[in-house]
Amino acid sequence: MSRLIVVSNRVNPPSDAGVGTAGGLAMALAAALREYSGVWFGWSGETIETFTGQISMQKIGGVTVALVDLEEQDREEYYDGYANRTLWPLFHSRTDLAAYERSFGEGYERVNRRFAETLAPLIGPEDVVWIHDYHLIPLAAELRRLGVANRIGFFLHIPWPGRRQLTTLPQHRQLVESLLSYDLVGFQSRDALEAFGDYISRELEMIIHDGAIIHDSRRTRIGAFPIGIEAAAFAELATQDVARETFERIRLSQAGRKMILGVDRLDYSKGLEERFLAYEQLLADHPDWAERVFLLQIATPSRDAVQAYQEIRARLDGVSGRINGAYATIDWVPIRYVNRAHRRDELAGIYRAAQVGLVTPLRDGMNLVAKEYVAAQDPEDPGVLVLSRYAGAAEQMEDALIVNPFSREETSEALGRALAMPKRERITRWRRLMDGVLRDDVAAWRDCFVAALRLDAGGDVAEGGGNRKAS
């Protein structure tokens, strides 16, 4: 029987306990595996003294997971190093933060080889393999070396960098060539797909014909597959008890003030400092908004081991403190800055209580928060989404107020417009956004990708498949 084998760096299916904190992607992949039957393979997040390649098989939330432990040196070089300090900043246009240390590259190759050697014996002749994200780009090449001839697909969750930026990576050619071992490579947006095509044609001097790269060993199809959320379920969650209680609590504490909301992983790519400054500009330009609005920014710390993350955290503490110091009154704090994670049902209630969803990353593969914000709104009285043009989501969500997050003035003007938008216009914009979020949900994303991956190498990608346009 043909199974789907999903591989990602970390494996975190939602537990049997019900509503948990697992993100949209985890939910989607778990659902994909339940539907197609299969295994989810990846790092346990644990380290041991010496790598053994021993797999721990478990069943979590109806999904079979296969976990492997790595060594401490793997964590340092592959995860904290190459993934978080080299590829993440480089792919988010922050070459100034990218560390090019040889040991990181060696660790990355070693862990991908270890993953391949551990995974290969699990793959049956009919199985289809779907590998996720920048941690595992060379995995198919390593599997091919071990004789795995199955169909293997790759999906990149983050942006693809510009050609010039990518060539600053010492092993850029080797990294990109390893993608040619896949049968299908998927990106979040047309923008990422075009940037990839530019590299392929100008650096590798290969031809892209009919959505595929023709080369010696195989035909590698490429396409944009914008990821979605479990939209209907999230909208439903926003009307349930916990969400309603959270909504009421916030409404009470709002005391008639309008709420602008940001929800992000605490990451320099999310544009949080620029966001705080744009909000400050609004207060400076429109003193009439003072005491009538506040910004709730929820930012969960991540990747604490990396210095750039400690620095951005300290900067945000400083900027939010300064703005609050300058503008607060005895009964009004302009920025409520919260550093903890919330349950998904609480989050749904928080989104619903916000008059403005402020999603302004400087660079983002897609951005699921924008879609969750829309899905959680009250159809009778929806809030307004202000969205960065540099989020992949902007290609699909044209009815948001699209802004350049690098421009304080532009963002602050959009905030003013959002806060004052008449109900009729809010409803019209939200309806169009919601239709898109419901249509292009996570199940549609998963089904399109898997269907395209299962197609014979010679066949065309079906409508909605690898050449699917971000609509």
Token pair belonging to 268 = 């320099």
Q: Which part of the chain contacts ligand ADQ (CB under 6 A), choosing from 20-28, 58-66, 105-113, 429-437?
A: 20-28
Q: Under 8 Å CB-to-CB from 213, ≥6 apart: which residues? A: 180, 200, 206, 207, 219, 220, 222
- Type and span of the H or E element at 16: none
With CB under 6 A as the contact rule, the residue among 25, 29, 66, 354 that binds ligand ADQ is 25
Rounded to the nearest whole angstrom, what is the least distance from the CB of residue 247 to ligand ADQ in the complex? 16
Which alpha helices (H) appear in 122-210, and where do they start and end?
139-145, 163-166, 172-178, 190-202
Of the pair 26, 169, the CB lying nearest ligand ADQ is at: 26
- List the interface residues with ligand ADQ, window 349-368 (CB under 6 A): 364-368
Catalytic residue among 133, 135, 157, 345: 157
CA distance 202 to 58: 45
Of the pair 281, 360, the CB lying nearest ligand ADQ is at: 360
364 is catalytic: yes
Catalytic residue among 127, 264, 345, 364: 364
Rounded to the nearest whole angstrom, what is the least distance from the CB of residue 350 to ligand ADQ in the complex? 9
Rounded to the nearest whole angstrom, what is the least distance from the CB of residue 216 to ligand ADQ in the complex? 31
CA distance 384 to 397: 12
- List the interface residues with ligand ADQ, window 366-385 (CB under 6 A): 366-369, 372
Q: Is position 26 an interface residue for ligand ADQ (rule: CB under 6 A)?
A: no
Q: Is position 118 an interface residue for ligand ADQ (rule: CB under 6 A)?
A: no
Judged by CB under 6 A, the number of residues near ligand ADQ is: 22
* Nearest CA-CA partner of 465 in 183, 177, 200, 234: 183
Q: Is position 341 an interface residue for ligand ADQ (rule: CB under 6 A)?
A: yes
- List the interface residues with ligand ADQ, window 277-336 (CB under 6 A): 298, 300
CA distance 431 to 379: 8
Q: Is position 132 an interface residue for ligand ADQ (rule: CB under 6 A)?
A: no
CB atoms within 10 A of CB 403: 24
CA distance 415 to 66: 46
- Residue 307 CB-half CA count within 13 A: 5
Rounded to the nearest whole angstrom, what is the least distance from the CB of residue 368 to ligand ADQ in the complex? 3
Q: Under 8 Å CB-to-CB from 236, ≥6 apart: which residues? A: none
Q: So which residues are the catalytic ones?
A: 157, 364
Q: List interacting residues with ligand ADQ (CB under 6 A).
A: 21, 23-25, 157-158, 227, 263-265, 298, 300, 341-342, 347, 364-369, 372
